[in-house]
Amino acid sequence: MKQLLDGIKANNFVIVGRAGMDFFPDPPGTKTEDGVMFTASLGGSSANIAAGICKLGGKAALVTRVSDDSIGRYCVNQLKHYGVDTRYVTPVGGEFRNSLAVYESRVEDHQSVIYRNGAADFQMDESDVAAVDYSQYGALITAGTVFAAEPSRTATFKSFALAKQAGLPIIFDVDYRPYSWPSPQVAEEILSRAATECDMIVGNDEEFGFMAGDISKGLDKARALSENTAKIVVYKMGHEGAITFAQGREIRTGIYPVEALKPTGAGDSFMAGMMTSLAEGYDLEDAILRGSACASITVSRPGCAPAMADTPTLDKFLADHPGPTDA
State yes or no: pLDDT of 179 exceeds 90: no
Strands 12-16 and 139-143: parallel
- Other C-beta atoms lying within 10 Å of the C-beta of residue 165: 10
> Residue 207: how many CA atoms within 13 Å on its side-chain side?
26
Of 58, 109, 34, give the one whose Cα is nearest residue 294. 58
Of 138, 10, 145, 135, give the one whose Cα is nearest residue 64. 145
pLDDT of residue 214: 87
**Entry pTM:** 0.97
Structural domain includes residue 325: no
Structural domain includes residue 151: yes
CATH number at residue 308: 3.40.1190.20
Q: How many domains does the chain have?
A: 1
Structural domain includes residue 326: no
Structural domain includes residue 131: yes
> Residue 150: how many CA atoms within 13 Å on its side-chain side?
3
Structural domain includes residue 259: yes
Mean local confidence (pLDDT), 284-302: 97
Structural domain includes residue 294: yes
State yes or no: pLDDT of 326 exceeds 90: no
Structural domain includes residue 327: no
For residue range 122-150, what is the model confidence (pLDDT) as tens digits? Answer: 999 999 999 999 999 999 999 999 999 99
- Other C-beta atoms lying within 10 Å of the C-beta of residue 162: 18
Domain that holds residue 226: 2-320
